[in-house]
Structure 1
Amino acid sequence: MSNTTDIRTTVTALSEETSARAIEIMQERLSALIDLQLTLKHIHWNVVGMNFIAVHEMLDPQVDAVRAMTDAVAERIATMGGQPKGTPGSVTSIRTWDDYPLDRAPSVQHLVELDKVYSGVTADHRAAVEEFNKLDPVTEDLFIGHLAELEHFQWFVRAHLKNTEGDVMHRQT
């Protein structure tokens, strides 16, 4: 037996082309998740004002969960024969979105911006899930689970931004 065996043989049901496309999509999502976990921690450090402690403490479990998501995605990439890229340079080279715009700012401003971040991440995850539906049900299942958790986190954020009628207010104060 040769030591040069293709690692992708560990997922024998998938063709090399299918694996390569799934890996490409997962790498894009891995970069987004790494960016999200760093953004969440940045907000945690820089939030001030009303509801400071509520927002500050809400974010650490989100950071931990997103960090676990990055690990699961990176390990799925490796399982499928890819090489996960998690360096700052690789994240910024893959990134197609703008950097988070706020530093030290009141909680409501951070929550408005974080809602936008979650909207972008979840929309892109949904698009990935649709493509994984055609490529690989195992990877699709992984991302469906992550999407449910990300949407749950966005619900937490939006609960802070609702007015008395239940509408999400996207104003900067």
Structure 2
Amino acid sequence: MAAWPVAGLDDATAEKVRTLLQERLVALIDLQLTLKHVHWNVVGPNFIGVHEMLDPHVETVRGFTDTVAERIATLGGQPIGTPGHVASTRSWDEYDVRRANVETHLKALDAVYCGLISDHRKVMEELEELDLVSHDMFVEQTEALELQQWFVRAHLANADGELPG
């Protein structure tokens, strides 16, 4: 099925933008599932604080996936969000922490956020030249993801506000 023409974007640019968005869609779907996994499997004395913190994070990321998928469709593409596609096209290892304490999960989740935010920033740089509408969408998402990472890090920080090594 051919893509719909996009006003103001040549076909090659629109395709490049759709490809970048699809890669980010996969990452956001993976993050959404990972956050829910941590929500279900975190244990220990601070369990309830982390458990309750993560549901709003899941909902925020779920909104991002919808926004990115709809942007792909708006640009004439076909967003793919099936589990098989996500698993087969991601370029990072699966989150491998199962039931574990708060610190173990949050350290692993902090690493997930580092990778995802870094990749979002790289895509933002590319989109600044290709499509300012998509660029602005990622600026807003990155701001929210950094805030979520700050919440995770605040749970990990010691009394001096330093993160464990």
TM-score (norm 2): 0.97
Identity of aligned residues (%): 55
Provide the rounded CA distance (Å) in 1 between the counterparts of 2:120 and 2:3: 28
Provide the rounded CA distance (Å) in 2 between the counterparts of 1:6 and 1:70: 20
Aligned to 1:42: 37
Aligned to 1:67: 62
Q: Note the 1:31-110 alignment, pairs <5 A.
A: 31-110=26-105
Provide the rounded CA distance (Å) in 2 between the counterparts of 1:139 and 1:51: 38
Shift of 1:126: 0.2
Shift of 1:165: 2.1
Aligned to 1:7: 4
Provide the rounded CA distance (Å) in 2 between the counterparts of 1:107 and 1:65: 21
Aligned residues: 165
Provide the rounded CA distance (Å) in 1 between the counterparts of 2:47 and 2:160: 23
Query: Do residues 135 (structure 1) and 130 (structure 2) align?
Result: yes
Q: Which runs of 5+ in 2 are unaligned?
A: none
Shift of 1:87: 0.4
Query: Do residues 164 (structure 1) and 159 (structure 2) align?
Result: yes
The superposition leaves residues 26-52 of structure 1 with CA deviations (integer Å, 9 ceiling, x where unpaired) of 000000000000000000000000210
Specify the code of the residue in structure 1 equivalent to 2:109: L
Q: Is the 8 A contact 2:32 2:62 kept in 1?
A: yes
TM-score (norm 1): 0.92
Specify the code of the residue in structure 1 equivalent to 2:12: E
RMSD: 1.3
Q: Which has the larger radius of gyration?
A: 1
| Consecutive aligned runs of 4 or more in structure 1 exceeding 6 Å deviation | none
